């Protein structure tokens, strides 16, 4: 009986040792960094960013349209999401300490509000 138990324990330990063997496979990380054209920005809360009296949920349309100042002057910012310098950039954050971190910064367009 003792020999049988020893054999079972030996087989069990062998299986555990084989199962715990380290693998040399490289872990693949998604590389999502780059420039992205903003196609839409929406908000649950409607907001009027250009003082035209309309409060849509389409934030991108609000920043692309003309701005009406407090004295009625129409200001054209000429923002367009077609130009590369207006694209958002996804990249690792400047504060990360680990190259495997998947956080990123996205630059959103801004609109001046008086």
- pLDDT at residue 4 is higher than 80: no
Q: At residue 5, what are phi and psi to the nearest 5 degrees?
A: -65, -40
- pLDDT at residue 28 is higher than 80: no
- Taking residues 100-114, report their average pLDDT: 59
- Taking residues 32-45, report their average pLDDT: 82
In the structure, what pLDDT confidence band is assigned to residue 8 with cuts at 50, 70 and 90?
A: low
CB 79, CB 66: distance < 8 Å: no
pTM: 0.49
Angle of CA points 81, 91, 82, to nearest 5°: 10
pLDDT tens column, 41-99:
888 888 888 888 889 898 888 888 888 888 888 888 767 778 877 777 777 666 655 66
| Cα–Cα distance, 20 to 1 (Å, whole number) | 29
Which residues make Cβ contacts (< 8 Å) with residue 64, sequence separation at least 6?
79, 80, 81
Rg of the chain over Cα atoms, rounded to whole angstroms, equals 29
């Amino acid at each position: 009986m003792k020999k049988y138990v020893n054999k079972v324990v030996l087989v069990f330990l062998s299986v555990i040792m084989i199962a715990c063997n380290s693998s040399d496979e490289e872990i693949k990380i998604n590389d999502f960094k780059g420039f992205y054209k903003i196609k839409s920005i929406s908000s649950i809360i409607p907001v009027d960013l250009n003082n035209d009296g309309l409060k849509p949920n389409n934030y991108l349309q609000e920043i692309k349209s003309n701005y009406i100042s407090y004295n009625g002057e129409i200001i054209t910012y000429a923002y367009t999401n077609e130009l590369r310098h207006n694209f958002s950039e996804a990249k690792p954050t400047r504060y990360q300490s680990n190259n495997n971190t998947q956080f990123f910064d996205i630059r959103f367009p801004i609109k001046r509000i008086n």
